[in-house]
C-alpha cells in the first residue's frame, strides 16, 4: 500500500519534461541517478580533468601560500614581499610585461590595420607568416637570439664588419629579453587585433569624407575612439601573456650565473629546480603571478565590454 | 539651388562596366529616383557623384562646375548610406553636428543648426542616444539629418529604406519627400523598389546594365515604357510572345499594326498590364481557362491559359476582388485587350527582371 | 598611412620575422661560424649527428609520444563534453569555460608547480613520471581543442541538426558518430594541430614536472643551449626539425582549406574580440 501511495501522486502530476529529454521523468532514486548521469556523464572526464588538474592545483597553491609549519600564517607572504630579490623579480616582471606590451601595441596596431585592409589573398599570406612567427618561441627562439645577436651572432658580425663598434644587448639583460619577447608577441598582437580592426567599417570613413572631414579628423573623432578599447584589450592580453613566459626567459636568462634579470617565472623555476627548502617562496611567488594574471585578465574583460558597447 | 549634370560617365571594375556612358541632368530642387535591379550600377552612379569612386571617362558637374578633380570632402554634397554609416561612438546629436564641426563652424551656430535638424527629422527625444540605442527608422532619420546639416547643394540617398520593414518604409518615404521639399534640395535617390520610386520622385531614371534606359515622369514611365526593359521592370506586365503576320500582330481578335522596321514572321513580345485585360462575352474574343486565382487585396489576379498562334500562352488579368468569386478555377471565359495599350518590342531583347 | 610608409613598415617586419629562422637554419648546416656574416662552410653532418644521437632520439620520441597521447586524450574528453553541453545540458558549459580560462590566465609554470605539489602530496611515487606529464599537458592544452571544436559546432548549428536527427529516431551515440563528428571535422583538425603543436614544444610544464629524470625535446634543447658542451649545431638541427613539423601541420591545415592560418597562433583565439558590428 505504502508503495502505491508514493507512486500515485507521481502519476497524477508527471514532472515537467523538457523537450528532447532522453529519459522518462524520474520515478525512483535509481531513476533520478540515471537522469543525473544522462545529463552529466559524457562531460564527466573533462570535468574531472578540470577539477583535479587545473582547479585543485591552483587552489592548493593559494592555500599553501598561507601556511607554514605551524598552520595558517601570512608569514610566507611577508617574507617574500619584504625581500629585495623577490621585490625585484616582481617589479621586473611587471616592467618587462608593460614594456613588451607597449612596444607590441606601437608596432602591431598599425600593422594590423594595414593588413586588415588588404585583399583576402594577400592578407592570408601575411597571416600565415605571423602565425609561423608567433609559434616560433621557447628554446628555439632563444637560440636564434644567440645566433643573431650573440657575441659572434650574424647581425653582430655584420654591424661590426662595417666598422661600427657595437655590442648587442646581452640576452639576459632587460633589453635582450624585450627583443626576444617582441619576436613572438608582435605577431600575436597582430593576429589578436586584426579581427577587431573590422569593427571600423569602411563606410564610416566614406561618411566622414562626405561630411567634409580630413583623414586626421576622422581618426581623432571616430577611428581611434572606436578602436582604442580593442587595442587596449590587446595590450592587456600581451601583458598577461608576457609576464607568464617561461621557456624563452629560461633560454635567454636562465643560465644560473648569467641570471642578471630577475623574473618571477625564473625565480619559481629556479627554486623548484635547486632549493627544496625554499618551496614556500616559489609558492607565494606563484600566487602573486596568478593574481597579476587574473587581475589583468579581468581588466581585459572590462575593456572588451567597453569596446563592444557601441555595437550591441 | 543647384543642378547636377553627368555627361558620358563611364566606370569600369576590371571587366565589369558598372556605368556605361551615362548622361543625366537633375534640375535644381528636383528629386530624381534611380530605379533598377540589383547590380545595375545605381550605387556606383551615386558614389561617382559623391567622388567616392573615380569615373574612367565623362564629366560630373554640380552647378556646371566640373568635379572630376575635387575630392569628396570638398564636394557640396550630403549622403545617406544604405547602411546609414552612423558613427557608433557619437550620439545622434554629435553625428548630426559632425559635418559642421569638422568644417570649424562656431559652436553657437552648430548648436542652432543641430537643433533645427533634430526638429526637421523629429529626433528631439533621441538626440542623446547612441546609434545602437535607436530604431532603424530613427537611425535613417539621423543619417538624413547628418546629410543635410551642412546645407549641401545636392543630397544623395542610397536605398535609404531598404533596411526597414514595410510599414515604416512607407511612412519614412513620405517623410523623406516632405523634408526634401521643405529644404528644396536637389536629390538623387537610389532604389530598386518601383513603387517607392514612383511615389517619391519628380522623375525616374530606369537603369539596366550600367545604362539609363528611360528618364521620365513617373506616370510616363508607367504608361509609356520606351524600352522592353522598362516595360518589364516597371509594373508587372503581361509579356506575350507574338508573331508578325501580314504586317500586323494579332492577339485574339485584337489587331495591331506591326512596328516600323519589322518584317513578316518576326517574333515580338507584347507588353500590357493585367488591369488592361478585360473579360468579355463576345464570342469573337479570345477563349481562356482560369488556372489560378490569386487574392492580392483590393484586386484579385486571374491566371488564364489560352492558345495563341498555335502555342500555349498565359495571361494575367486583374479584377476588383469583389467580382472574382464569379470566376473559379476551371471556368472558361473570353478576354479582350485594347490594342492601344499594348507595347510591342522585339523578342530577342525580352527581359526578365 | 602613405604607401611608402606602409612598404617600409611591412618590409621591416618581414626581415625581423624571417631573420631568426634563416639564422637558425644556417647554423644547422654550418661547419664553422665564427667571424663572418655567413658561415665559413656548409655541411650536413650535424643532421647525421642528431639522427644517431640516442639522447636526442629518446627526447624526440618522448615528445612525439607526449603530443600524440595528449591529442588523443583531448579529443576523447572534449568532444563528448562539448556536444553534450550544446545539445543536452547547457549547465556543462560554464564549467568548461572556467576550466578553459585557467590555462590561459595562469602561467603554465604556476599550474605545473601546483600539479607537482598535489602529486607530491597525494601520490609521491608518481612524481616526475611520464603519465603525470601527459595528463597535465592534456589539461593545459584542452582549451585549444575546446575553442576549435566549439566554434565548429556553433558555426554549423549542431543543436538544430541533433534535434533533426532525433526526430529521425537516432540515438545519441549514432548522432555523435554519424552527424556531429563528420560535420565538425574541420574544427577537430584545427584543434588537433593546435594541441599537437603546443604539446610537442612545451617547455615549462616538462621542466617543472620532470626535472632531470628524462628528456623531452625542449628539455634537451635547453640543456644543449645552456651547457657549454658545444652542441649548438645539433640544437640548430632540432630547432629546424621541430619548426618543420610545426610548419607541415600548419600547411596541412591551410591545405584542408577554410581554417585560416591564424588559428594556429597559440592561444590567440581566446576571447578574441570578434564581435562584429551589427
Ligand atoms: N568595388 C567594386 N569592385 C568590383 N566590382 C564592383 C564594385 N562595386 C560594384 N561593382 C560591380 O559593379 C556593378 C554595379 O554595382 P552597384 O553600383 O553596386 O549596383 P546596384 O547598386 O545597382 O545594386 C555590379 O556588377 C557590381 O558587381
Ligand atoms: Mg546598391
Q: Which of A119, A186, A123 is nearest to C265 (CA)?
A: A186
Name the DSSP letter for residue A215.
H
Residues of B whose CB is below 8 A from A228: none
Residue C1 pLDDT level (bands cut at 50, 70, 90): low
pLDDT score recorded for residue B259:
78
Indicate the SS3 state at residue C235. Answer: helix
Those of residues 40-69 in C touching chain A at CB distance below 8 A are none
Average pLDDT over residues A14-24: 45
Burial class (CB in 10 A: 0-12, 13-18, 19+), B115: middle
Is A214 within 8 Å of B79 when comparing Cβ atoms? Answer: no
- Contact of A199 with chain C, judged by CB distance below 8 Å, is answered with yes
Is A208 within 8 Å of B52 when comparing Cβ atoms? Answer: no
- Contact of A103 with chain C, judged by CB distance below 8 Å, is answered with no
- Max mean pLDDT among A99-113, B220-234, C234-248 falls in A99-113
Count of domains in chain C?
A: 1
Q: List, in order, residues 6 or more apart from B210 with CB less than 8 Å away.
A: B11, B17, B18, B19, B20, B22, B40, B41, B44
C-alpha cell of residue B12: 569600369
Report the helix count and the strand count for chain C, using DSSP H and E. Answer: 13, 0
Q: Confirm whether C2 is domain-assigned.
A: no
Q: Which atom of ligand 1 is nearest to B40's Cα? A: 22
Which bin fits A78, alpha (ψ -120 to 50), beta or left (φ > 0)? alpha
- In angstroms, the CA A300 to CA B70 distance is 44
Q: From residue A49, how far is each of A142, A208, A240, B223, C207 by CA, in Å? A: 32, 53, 24, 76, 21
Q: Which of A245, A274, A99 is nearest to C110 (CA)?
A: A245
Q: Tell me if B18 CB under 6 Å of ligand 1.
A: yes
Q: In what order do the strands lie in the sheet with B332-337?
A: B277-280, B332-337, B286-295, B299-308, B311-320
Average pLDDT over residues A197-210: 92
Name the DSSP letter for residue A213.
-
pLDDT of A161 > 90? The answer is no
Burial class (CB in 10 A: 0-12, 13-18, 19+), A50: buried
Residue C263 pLDDT level (bands cut at 50, 70, 90): very low
pLDDT of C122 > 50? The answer is yes
Residue pair B86/A211 in contact (Cβ under 8 Å)? The answer is: no
> Residue B132 is nearest to which of A204, A211, A311, comparing CB atoms?
A311
Q: Confirm whether C226 is domain-assigned.
A: no
Q: Quick: pLDDT tens for A215-265.
A: 999 999 999 999 999 999 999 999 999 999 999 999 888 765 445 788 999
Q: List, in order, residues 6 or more apart from C152 with CB less than 8 Å away.
A: C183, C184, C186, C187, C188, C190
Proportion of chain A above pLDDT 70, given as a percent: 89
Burial class (CB in 10 A: 0-12, 13-18, 19+), B54: exposed
- Residue B41 Cα to ligand 1 midpoint, Å, equals 6
pLDDT score recorded for residue B353:
46
pLDDT score recorded for residue B300:
92
pLDDT score recorded for residue A8:
36
Question: In order of start, what are the domains of chain A with their CATH numbers?
Answer: 74-311 (1.10.3720.10)
Residue pair B11/B48 in contact (Cβ under 8 Å)? The answer is: yes
> Residue A203 is nearest to which of B51, B75, B83, comparing CB atoms?
B83
Q: Tell me if B194 CB under 6 Å of ligand 1.
A: no
Which protein residue has the closest C-alpha to ligand 1 atom 3? Answer: B13
> What is the maximum span of chain C, computed from C-alpha positions, in angstroms?
74
Is B102 within 8 Å of A213 when comparing Cβ atoms? Answer: yes
pLDDT of A98 > 90? The answer is yes
**Triad A238, A244, A250: Cα angle to 5°:** 120
Q: Which bound ligand lies closest to the C-alpha atom of B211?
A: 1
Q: Quick: pLDDT tens for B272-325.
A: 888 888 898 888 888 999 999 999 888 999 999 998 877 888 999 999 989 888
Q: List, in order, residues 6 or more apart from B283 with CB less than 8 Å away.
A: B334
How many Å lie between the alpha carbon of A48 and the closest alpha carbon of chain C?
Answer: 10
Residue pair C73/A29 in contact (Cβ under 8 Å)? The answer is: no
C-alpha cell of residue C95: 564549467
C-alpha cell of residue B188: 538623387
Q: Which residue has the cell 545540458?
A: C89
Give the domain range for residue C186: 55-218
Angle subtended by helix axes C108-122 and A56-65, to nearest 10 = 80
C39 vs C116, more confident: C116
Residue A198 pLDDT level (bands cut at 50, 70, 90): confident
> What is the maximum span of chain B, computed from C-alpha positions, in angstroms?
79
Which protein residue has the closest C-alpha to ligand 1 atom 21? Answer: B43
Q: Tell me if B191 CB under 6 Å of ligand 1.
A: no
How many Å lie between the alpha carbon of C210 and the closest alpha carbon of chain A?
Answer: 10
- Contact of A305 with chain B, judged by CB distance below 8 Å, is answered with no
- In angstroms, the CA B253 to CA A32 distance is 82
Q: Confirm whether C33 is domain-assigned.
A: no
Residue to substitute in B12, B39, B48, B233 for testing ligand 1 pocket (most ligand atoms within 8 angstroms of CB): B39
Q: Tell me if B39 CB under 6 Å of ligand 1.
A: yes
Single pTM value for the model: 0.81
- Residue B11 Cα to ligand 1 midpoint, Å, equals 10
C-alpha cell of residue C276: 562584429
pLDDT score recorded for residue B1:
55
**Binding partners of B (≥3 Cβ pairs within 8 A):** A
A93 vs A26, more confident: A93
Residue C264 pLDDT level (bands cut at 50, 70, 90): very low
Q: Which residues of A61-72 are buried (b: 16+ CB within 10 A; e: fewer)?
A: beebbbeeeeee
Q: Quick: pLDDT tens for A59-81.
A: 999 998 998 878 888 888 988 88
- Residue B159 Cα to ligand 2 midpoint, Å, equals 7
- Residue C119 Cα to ligand 1 midpoint, Å, equals 65
Q: Which atom of ligand 1 is nearest to B38's Cα? A: 23
Least confident of A43-52, A89-98, A130-139, C129-138: A130-139
Is A54 within 8 Å of C27 when comparing Cβ atoms? Answer: no
Q: Confirm whether C154 is domain-assigned.
A: yes
> Residue A53 is nearest to which of C87, C121, C139, comparing CB atoms?
C139
pLDDT score recorded for residue A160:
83
* ipTM of model: 0.84
Q: Tell me if B38 CB under 6 Å of ligand 1.
A: yes
Q: Which atom of ligand 1 is nearest to B190's Cα? A: 21
How many Å lie between the alpha carbon of C62 and the closest alpha carbon of chain A?
Answer: 17
- In angstroms, the CA A52 to CA B269 distance is 79
Is C235 within 8 Å of A57 when comparing Cβ atoms? Answer: no
Q: Tell me if B43 CB under 6 Å of ligand 1.
A: yes
Residue pair B33/B200 in contact (Cβ under 8 Å)? The answer is: yes
Q: Tell me if B40 CB under 6 Å of ligand 1.
A: yes
A96 vs A5, more confident: A96
Q: List, in order, residues 6 or more apart from A190 with CB less than 8 Å away.
A: A108, A111, A112, A115, A130
pLDDT score recorded for residue B147:
95
Q: Quick: pLDDT tens for C178-229.
A: 888 888 888 888 889 889 988 998 999 999 998 778 889 999 988 888 876 6
Indicate the SS3 state at residue C244. Answer: helix
Q: What is the DSSP string of B43-112?
A: HHHHHHHHTSS--SEEEEEETTEE-TT--GGGSSEEEE-TT----TTS-HHHHHHHHHHHTT--HHHHHH
- Contact of A206 with chain B, judged by CB distance below 8 Å, is answered with yes
> Residue A212 is nearest to which of B90, B99, B130, comparing CB atoms?
B99
Interface test with A, best of C26, C46, C106 (most A CBs within 10 A): C106
Those of residues 143-182 in A touching chain C at CB distance below 8 A are 143-148, 152-155, 157-158, 161
Residue C259 pLDDT level (bands cut at 50, 70, 90): very low
- In angstroms, the CA A228 to CA A196 distance is 10
pLDDT score recorded for residue A230:
92
pLDDT of A26 > 80? The answer is no
- Max mean pLDDT among B266-280, C63-77, C145-159 falls in C63-77
Which protein residue has the closest C-alpha to ligand 1 atom 5? Answer: B13
Indicate the SS3 state at residue B201. Answer: coil
Q: Which of C157, C154, C149 is nearest to C190 (CA)?
A: C149
> Residue A131 is nearest to which of C140, C235, C250, comparing CB atoms?
C250
pLDDT of C262 > 60? The answer is no
Which protein residue has the closest C-alpha to ligand 1 atom 27? Answer: B39
Q: Confirm whether C162 is domain-assigned.
A: yes
Residue C249 pLDDT level (bands cut at 50, 70, 90): confident
φ and ψ at residue B22, rounded to 5 degrees: -90, 130
Alpha helices in chain B (DSSP H): 42-50, 92-102, 107-120, 136-149, 166-183, 194-200, 218-223, 228-233
Residues of A whose CB is below 8 A from B147: 210
Estimate the share of chain A in helix, then strand, then coil, as percent rounded to the nearest 5. Answer: 75, 0, 20
Q: Which residues of chain B have pLDDT under 70?
A: 1, 348-353
| CATH, residue C168 | 1.10.3720.10
Residues of A whose CB is below 8 A from B83: 201, 203
pLDDT of C115 > 80? The answer is yes
> Residue C268 is nearest to which of A40, A192, A300, comparing CB atoms?
A192
Residues of B whose CB is below 8 A from A225: 89
Q: Confirm whether C211 is domain-assigned.
A: yes
Residue pair B80/B154 in contact (Cβ under 8 Å)? The answer is: no
Q: List, in order, residues 6 or more apart from A120 with CB less than 8 Å away.
A: none
Amino acid at each position: 500500500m505504502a508503495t502505491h501511495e508514493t507512486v500515485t501522486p507521481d502519476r497524477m502530476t508527471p514532472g515537467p519534461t523538457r523537450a528532447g529529454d532522453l529519459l522518462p521523468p524520474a520515478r525512483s532514486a535509481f531513476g533520478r541517478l540515471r537522469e543525473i548521469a544522462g545529463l552529466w556523464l559524457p562531460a564527466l572526464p573533462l570535468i574531472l580533468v578540470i577539477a583535479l588538474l587545473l582547479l585543485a592545483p591552483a587552489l592548493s597553491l593559494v592555500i599553501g601560500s598561507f601556511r607554514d609549519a605551524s598552520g595558517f600564517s601570512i608569514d610566507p607572504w611577508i617574507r617574500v614581499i619584504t625581500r629585495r630579490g623577490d621585490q625585484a623579480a616582481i617589479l621586473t616582471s611587471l616592467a618587462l610585461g608593460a614594456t613588451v606590451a607597449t612596444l607590441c601595441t606601437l608596432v602591431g596596431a598599425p600593422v594590423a590595420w594595414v593588413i586588415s585592409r588588404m585583399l583576402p589573398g594577400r592578407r592570408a599570406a601575411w597571416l600565415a607568416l605571423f602565425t609561423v612567427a608567433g609559434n616560433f618561441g621557447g628554446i628555439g627562439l632563444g637560440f636564434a637570439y644567440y645566433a643573431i645577436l650573440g657575441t659572434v651572432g650574424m647581425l653582430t658580425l655584420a654591424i661590426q664588419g662595417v666598422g661600427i663598434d657595437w655590442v648587442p644587448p646581452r640576452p639576459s639583460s632587460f633589453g635582450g629579453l624585450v627583443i626576444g619577447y617582441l619576436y613572438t608577441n608582435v605577431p600575436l598582437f597582430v593576429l589578436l587585433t586584426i579581427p577587431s580592426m573590422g569593427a571600423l567599417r569602411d563606410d564610416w570613413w566614406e561618411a566622414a569624407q562626405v561630411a567634409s572631414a580630413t583623414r586626421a579628423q576622422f581618426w581623432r573623432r571616430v577611428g581611434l575612439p572606436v578602436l582604442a578599447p580593442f587595442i587596449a584589450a590587446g595590450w592587456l592580453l600581451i601583458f598577461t601573456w608576457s609576464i607568464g613566459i617561461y621557456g624563452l626567459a629560461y633560454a635567454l636568462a636562465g643560465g644560473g650565473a648569467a641570471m642578471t634579470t630577475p623574473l618571477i617565472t625564473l625565480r619559481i623555476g629556479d627554486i623548484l629546480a635547486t632549493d627544496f627548502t625554499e618551496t614556500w617562496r616559489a609558492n607565494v611567488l606563484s600566487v602573486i603571478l596568478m593574481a597579476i594574471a587574473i587581475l589583468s585578465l579581468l581588466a581585459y574583460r572590462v575593456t572588451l565590454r567597453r569596446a563592444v558597447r557601441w555595437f550591441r | 539651388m543647384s543642378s547636377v549634370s553627368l555627361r558620358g560617365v563611364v566606370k569600369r571594375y576590371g571587366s565589369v562596366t558598372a556605368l556605361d556612358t551615362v548622361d543625366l541632368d537633375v534640375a535644381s530642387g528636383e528629386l530624381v529616383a534611380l530605379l533598377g535591379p540589383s547590380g545595375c550600377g545605381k550605387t556606383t552612379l551615386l558614389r561617382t557623384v559623391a567622388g567616392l569612386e573615380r569615373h574612367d571617362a565623362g564629366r560630373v558637374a554640380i552647378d556646371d562646375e566640373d568635379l572630376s578633380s575635387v575630392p569628396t570632402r570638398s564636394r557640396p554634397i550630403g549622403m545617406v548610406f544604405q547602411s546609414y554609416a552612423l558613427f557608433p561612438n557619437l550620439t545622434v546629436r554629435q553625428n548630426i553636428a559632425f559635418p559642421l564641426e569638422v568644417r570649424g563652424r562656431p559652436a553657437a551656430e552648430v548648436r542652432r543648426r543641430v537643433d533645427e535638424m533634430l526638429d526637421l527629422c523629429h529626433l528631439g527625444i533621441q538626440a542623446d542616444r547612441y546609434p545602437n540605442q535607436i530604431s532603424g527608422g530613427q537611425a535613417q532619420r539621423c543619417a538624413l539629418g547628418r546629410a543635410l546639416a551642412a546645407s549641401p547643394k545636392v543630397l544623395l540617398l542610397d536605398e535609404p529604406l531598404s533596411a526597414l520593414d514595410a510599414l515604416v518604409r512607407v511612412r519614412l518615404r513620405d517623410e523623406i519627400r516632405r523634408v526634401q521639399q521643405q529644404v528644396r534640395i536637389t536629390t538623387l535617390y537610389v532604389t530598386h523598389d518601383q513603387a517607392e520610386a514612383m511615389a517619391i520622385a519628380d522623375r525616374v531614371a530606369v537603369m539596366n546594365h550600367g545604362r539609363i534606359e528611360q528618364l521620365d515622369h513617373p506616370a510616363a514611365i508607367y504608361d509609356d515604357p520606351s524600352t522592353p526593359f522598362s516595360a518589364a521592370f516597371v509594373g508587372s506586365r503581361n509579356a506575350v510572345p507574338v508573331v508578325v503576320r501580314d504586317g500586323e500582330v494579332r492577339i485574339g481578335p485584337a489587331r495591331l499594326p506591326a512596328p516600323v522596321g519589322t518584317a513578316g514572321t518576326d517574333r515580338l513580345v507584347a507588353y500590357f498590364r493585367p488591369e488592361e485585360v478585360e473579360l468579355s462575352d463576345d464570342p469573337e474574343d479570345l477563349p481562356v481557362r482560369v488556372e489560378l486565382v490569386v487574392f492580392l487585396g483590393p484586386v484579385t489576379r486571374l491566371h488564364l491559359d489560352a492558345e495563341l498562334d498555335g502555342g500555349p500562352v498565359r495571361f494575367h488579368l486583374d479584377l476588383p476582388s469583389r467580382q472574382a468569386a464569379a470566376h473559379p478555377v476551371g471556368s472558361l471565359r473570353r478576354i479582350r485587350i485594347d490594342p492601344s495599350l499594348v507595347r510591342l518590342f522585339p523578342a530577342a531583347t525580352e527581359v526578365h527582371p | 598611412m602613405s604607401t611608402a610608409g606602409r612598404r617600409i613598415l611591412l618590409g621591416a617586419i618581414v626581415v625581423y620575422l624571417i631573420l631568426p629562422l634563416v639564422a637558425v637554419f644556417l647554423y644547422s648546416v654550418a661547419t664553422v661560424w665564427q667571424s663572418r656574416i655567413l658561415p665559413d662552410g656548409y655541411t650536413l653532418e650535424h643532421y647525421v649527428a642528431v639522427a644517431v644521437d640516442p639522447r636526442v632520439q629518446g627526447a624526440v620520441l618522448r615528445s612525439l609520444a607526449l603530443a600524440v597521447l595528449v591529442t588523443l586524450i583531448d579529443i576523447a574528453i572534449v568532444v563528448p563534453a562539448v556536444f553534450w553541453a550544446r545539445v543536452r545540458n547547457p549547465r556543462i558549459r560554464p564549467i568548461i569555460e572556467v576550466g578553459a580560462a585557467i590555462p590561459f590566465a595562469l602561467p603554465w609554470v604556476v599550474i605545473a608547480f601546483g600539479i607537482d605539489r598535489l602529486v607530491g602530496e597525494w601520490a609521491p611515487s608518481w612524481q616526475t613520471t611520464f603519465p603525470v606529464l601527459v595528463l597535465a599537458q592534456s589539461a593545459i592544452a584542452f582549451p585549444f581543442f575546446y575553442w576549435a571544436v566549439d566554434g565548429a559546432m556553433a558555426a554549423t548549428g549542431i543543436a538544430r541538426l541533433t534535434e533533426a536527427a532525433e526526430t529521425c529516431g537516432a540515438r545519441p551515440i549514432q548522432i555523435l558518430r554519424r552527424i556531429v563528428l563528420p560535420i565538425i571535422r574541420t574544427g577537430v583538425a584545427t584543434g588537433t594541430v593546435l594541441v599537437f603543436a603546443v604539446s610537442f614544444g612545451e617547455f615549462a610544464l616538462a621542466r617543472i614536472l620532470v626535472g632531470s629524470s628524462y628528456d623531452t625535446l625542449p628539455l634537451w634543447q635547453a640543456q644543449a643551449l645552456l651547457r657549454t658542451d658545444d652542441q649548438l649545431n645539433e640544437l640548430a638541427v632540432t630547432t629546424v626539425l621541430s619548426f618543420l613539423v610545426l610548419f607541415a601541420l600548419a600547411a596541412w591545415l591551410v591545405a584542408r582549406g577554410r581554417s585560416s592560418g591564424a588559428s594556429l597562433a597559440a592561444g590567440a583565439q581566446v576571447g578574441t574580440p570578434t564581435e562584429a558590428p551589427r
